[in-house]
Amino acid sequence: MENKGVTVSGELANSVQRSLVRLSLVIPAFNEGERLHDGVARLRKAIDSGNIDPKTTEFVVVDDGSTDDTVPRAASLFGDFPHLQIVRLPDNRGKGAAVRAGVAAAAAPMIAFADADMSIDPTQTSEFVRALNTFDVAIGSRAAEGASVDRPSIRRSVMNRAFNMLVNALTRVSLNDTQCGFKAFRAPIAKLLFHCSVTERFAFDVEILSLARRLNLSIEQVPVHWDRITGSRVRPWLDPGSMARDVFRASRRSASAPSVPALILDPRGIGSTGPDPVVALKALQQELSPVLPYCNQGDGRVLVLCPLMSEEQIVATSESMSLHVPDGGLERSTLSVAQLVAMAPFSLEWDA
């Protein structure tokens, strides 16, 4: 799915730089000019403590149609980090749309997103990275054992509990904090889930996690330390109605989700003079698995999904696959969410 109207600047310069990046941290920002400074200060503490390595971390700041100085402020504050992308949406579309654009641009084999104010202590980033060695998705939880909340708000706590009860009643995700602002994914998982999401505002997390459950993906809840930061976009007594409507819609939107482009490789036709099929497929896996969903079909064919990719990117991927397995049959296809769910458990090959 191509993100039309999206402007990207400061992209990683070449494939050598991309190979160094292990984590893409997506930071959606709408009129965050005044709060970015404190958020970046918290990030620098995480770097100083060794919990974020700037040499292997790509920062993807997504401007969600801001009308203030968010973009120049972000360029200045993040300017000395070696890997930075600033993605600009022409209009304000919502946090879900901003995160989706950041996931589409992300280059690393692991992708996380965090609020611009860094209310979830970013020194915990390494805990999310460790969780992804075992799980497909790692979500922050302010309700899990070991979590802590500074300056708790009774109104917000009541709203969060009620919201979570509604989410679990409608979606059966069985999670105790779907709205925590820090989540991490293996990159193939992130790109697939966000390709299939259509919710752009409050309840995008619910839609993403609901789909992850339907695909039988593994989810770990990471207890987090949360600071209440002034200037939150969520208004506890004004937004519950719209949030409830969004949750209800998100729980029923899979039918309207876009199909996922796919490439199906059949290596069974490789002749005796061609490359060793096992060696060729292993090389292909190593190239594709860090960022694309890749799995073996039961009949020997290889399925590669191409979520959040433009036509040009799909063609380039197809050409790369043909170079690895020149005599293999290659065909284009698409898969709906219903077809993906029918394939569950959706086993993806992935090298951490």
Cβ neighbors of 68 (< 8 A, separation 6 or more) are 31, 32, 33, 34
Q: What is the pLDDT of residue 75?
A: 96
Closest CA to 250 of 64, 117, 94: 94
Would you state the pLDDT for residue 130? 96
The angle, 0 to 180 degrees and rounded to 10, between the axes of the packed helices 187-195 and 95-105 is 130
Question: Which of 42-51, 95-104, 164-173, 211-220 is the least confident region?
Answer: 164-173
Q: Is the pLDDT of residue 79 over 70?
A: yes
Total number of domains constituting the chain: 2
Last residue of a domain, one of 204, 232, 255: 255
Confidence of residue 13 (pLDDT cuts 50, 70, 90): very low
Q: Are residues 99 and 49 in the same domain?
A: yes
167 within some domain: yes
**pLDDT value of position 134:** 93
Number of CB atoms found within 10 A of residue 90's CB: 11
pLDDT for the residue numbered 11: 53
Confidence of residue 351 (pLDDT cuts 50, 70, 90): very low
* Percentage above 70 pLDDT, the chain: 77
**Cis check: omega of the bond before 345, within 30 degrees of 0:** yes
Read off the DSSP letter of residue 293: -
Given 233, 255, 277, which residue is the final one in a domain?
Answer: 255
CATH number for the domain that contains residue 292? 3.30.70.3400
Sign of CA dihedral 158, 162, 168, 171: negative
Q: What is the pLDDT of residues 105-151, one digit of tens each?
A: 999 999 999 999 999 999 999 999 999 999 999 999 987 788 887 75
pLDDT at 325: 76
Where is pLDDT greater, at 161 or 109? 109
What does pLDDT average to over the chain?
Answer: 83
Whether residue 12 is contained in a domain is answered as yes
Q: Of the given ranges (10-14, 67-71, 174-178, 209-213), which has the lowest mean pLDDT?
A: 10-14
* This model's pTM is above 0.85: yes
186 and 309 assigned to the same domain? no
Residue type, 250: A
Q: Tens of pLDDT along 277-307?
A: 677 777 777 777 778 887 777 677 888 899 9
For residues 25 and 270, which has the higher predicted lDDT (pLDDT)? Answer: 25
In a domain, 346, yes or no: no
Q: Quick one: pLDDT band at residue 271, thresholds 50, 70, 90?
A: low
**Residue 331 resides in a domain:** yes
Residue 1 located in a structural domain: no
- State whether 75 and 194 are in the same domain: yes
DSSP for 120-189 reads B-GGGHHHHHHHTTT-SEEEEESSSTT-EEES--HHHHHHHHHHHHHHHHHH----S-TT-SEEEEEHHH
* One-character DSSP codes across 313-333: HHHHHHHHHHHHSTTSEEEEE
Report the half-sphere exposure of 103 (CA within 13 A, side-chain side).
31
The mean-pLDDT minimum among 88-102, 174-188, 235-249 falls in 235-249
Whether the pLDDT of residue 23 is over 90: the answer is yes
Same domain for 143 and 269, yes or no, is no
Residue bearing the bigger pLDDT, 122 or 329: 122
Distances (CA, A) of 256 to 294, 342, 346: 24, 17, 21
The answer to whether residue 251 sits within a structural domain is yes
| Sequence-distant (≥ 6) Cβ neighbours of residue 67 within 8 angstroms | 31
The verdict on residue 345 lying in a domain is: no
Instruction: Give the residue from 161, 181, 156, 178 showing the smallest Cα distance to 237.
Output: 156
Two tokens, residue 99:
């995160």
Measure the CA angle with vertex 155, ends 31 and 97; round to 5°. Answer: 35
Task: Specify the pLDDT at position 30.
Answer: 96
pLDDT-based confidence at residue 174 (cuts at 50, 70, 90): confident
Which domain does 241 fall in, by range? 7-255
Crossing angle for the helix pair 70-77 and 36-48, nearest 10 degrees? 20
* Residue whose entry in the numeric block shows the structure tokens 């330390």: 225
Residue at which a domain ends, from 237, 255, 273? 255
CA distances from 151 to 31, 114, 115, 257, 304 (A): 24, 20, 18, 39, 47
Task: Note whether 268 and 248 are same-domain residues.
Answer: no
88 shares its domain with 101: yes
| Between 308 and 351, residue with greater pLDDT | 308
User: How close are the terminal C-alpha atoms of the chain, in Å?
Assistant: 25
Q: Say if residue 88 is in the same domain as residue 232.
A: yes
Are the CB atoms for 58 and 27 separated by under 8 Å? no
For residues 143 and 271, membership in a common domain is answered with no
80 and 107 fall within a common domain: yes
Are 70 and 205 part of one and the same domain?
A: yes
* 1 pLDDT tier (thresholds 50, 70, 90): low
Residues 291, 240 share a domain: no
How far apart CA 340 and CA 342 sit, in angstroms, is 5
Encode pLDDT of 214-234 as tens digits. 899 999 999 999 887 765 555
Same domain for 283 and 148: no
Which domain CATH number covers 247?
A: 3.90.550.10
Please check the confidence at residue 238 and state whether its pLDDT lies above 60: no
Residue 212 forms part of a structural domain: yes
Average pLDDT over residues 36-48: 96
